[in-house]
Amino acid sequence: MYSKALNLSFILALIVVILGAYTRLADAGLGCPDWPGCYGQLLVPDVISAEYDRPLDIAKAWKEMVHRYAASILGLSIVIIFLLAIFRRPDTLRSVKLPTALLLLVGFQGALGMWTVTELVHPGIVTMHLLGGFSTTTLLFWLLLNERKPLTLDQPILNKHKIMLAIVTVLLVFQIFLGGWTSTNYAALACGDYFPSCLGEMWPDDMDFNNAYYWGPLGVDYEFGVLENETRTAIQMVHRVGALVVTAAIITFSFALRNYKALRNSLLIVLALLTIQVALGIINVVMSLPMFAATMHNVIGLALLLSLVSLAHKMFTKENALQN
């Protein structure tokens, strides 16, 4: 039952991440200006009262509410996982540290979802919400991996390679943050459809880095962004540089681990996902952010993170300190 609940929750988490990305990219984050209802209703209403300043866009409202419904179901499933972890039979009882952390995380994630609406899609809050979704999915994935039979490695993993994996993972997480910040500040098209240049220049002179990562005040409507294009251009270019660094790091890491036969398939998956992710990033720029490619850029970013997490689980199997 516990494993089935984990599998179901993991699938739900993937769906919620996809819906969240689609909702954000469709500019539907404020499709319902209140929380948890939608214009004071449980379902999207056909008409709204005069007390609401924001006009009703039924299509956007439904996108937002479907995302909320799916997230609520995910939250309930994680509560069930927590309870199952507590009440497992003594012979199979394990630590409930990770399920507890997961429950706390999804609770905070729900609060971030509320603040996303009440604070009018503040870039910092929306980016944290994205990272929270990725973290929730990653924790569920780790719990699933713990249910599987440990991989038997053909040779011990050198400490330097474990350190390399840790560095690559940290770099990828930071790059995911940069991607989220680019999206939530509506900076994805700040360079127009130019690639690898930006507005016809390899490194524009008038970029504003001083305000690129400023948190910004609460209570301001951030829909469609409030930053000047010079600032958005800086955000976009930092994301591109981050992509170069992460790509080089993953390729170097994969080459360094090429002699571990038991890890070769995992490394090939990492490299394949990296290739797809880079291609999607380029497509998003040159084709002006097509919805499918932009959504998949989020999804493949998560898949790339999970592929590194899976690799970490294999490399740290014997001395793994994170037991569920």
Looking at the fold, whether 199 and 248 belong to one and the same domain comes out as: yes
Tens of pLDDT, residue by residue over 241-275, are 999 999 999 999 999 999 999 899 999 999 999 99
**Domain assignment of residue 108, given as a range:** 1-148
Q: Please, what is the average pLDDT of the chain?
A: 94
Looking at the fold, whether 110 and 179 belong to one and the same domain comes out as: no
Looking at the fold, whether 144 and 163 belong to one and the same domain comes out as: no
The pLDDT assigned to 303 comes to: 99
Tens of pLDDT, residue by residue over 140-192, are 999 999 988 777 776 788 899 999 999 999 999 999 999 999 999 999 999 99
Q: pLDDT exceeding 90 applies to what percent of the chain? A: 86
Among candidate residues 132, 148, 164, the one where a domain is terminated = 148
What total of structural domains would you count in the chain?
A: 2
Helix runs in the chain, H state only: 2-25, 58-86, 97-118, 123-146, 159-184, 229-256, 264-286, 291-315
Angle between helices 2-25 and 123-146 (to 10 degrees): 160
Looking at the fold, whether 131 and 164 belong to one and the same domain comes out as: no
Among residues 257, 247, 251, 241, the alpha carbon closest in space to that of 277 is found at: 247
> Is 50 exceeded by the pLDDT of residue 323?
no
Q: Which residues are catalytic?
A: 64
The pLDDT assigned to 275 comes to: 99
Helix runs in 147-158, H state only: none
Looking at the fold, whether 212 and 258 belong to one and the same domain comes out as: yes
Mean pLDDT of 62-86: 96
Torsions phi, psi for 260 (to 5 deg): -85, 100
Looking at the fold, whether 19 and 130 belong to one and the same domain comes out as: yes
Looking at the fold, whether 162 and 284 belong to one and the same domain comes out as: yes
Looking at the fold, whether 314 and 254 belong to one and the same domain comes out as: yes
> Is 80 exceeded by the pLDDT of residue 14?
yes
The pLDDT assigned to 94 comes to: 60
The pLDDT assigned to 151 comes to: 72
Among residues 141, 160, 170, 151, the alpha carbon closest in space to that of 265 is found at: 151
Among candidate residues 148, 177, 197, the one where a domain is terminated = 148
Looking at the fold, whether 177 and 132 belong to one and the same domain comes out as: no
Looking at the fold, whether 212 and 255 belong to one and the same domain comes out as: yes
Among candidate residues 148, 163, 191, the one where a domain is terminated = 148
The burial of 285, by beta-carbon neighbours within 10 Å (0-12 exposed, 13-18 middle, 19 or more buried), is given as buried
Looking at the fold, whether 228 and 159 belong to one and the same domain comes out as: yes
Q: Which residue type is seen at 184?
A: T
> Is 80 exceeded by the pLDDT of residue 321?
no
Output the CA angle 231-234-239, nearest 5 degrees. 130
Tens of pLDDT, residue by residue over 97-111, are 999 999 999 999 999
Looking at the fold, whether 118 and 181 belong to one and the same domain comes out as: no
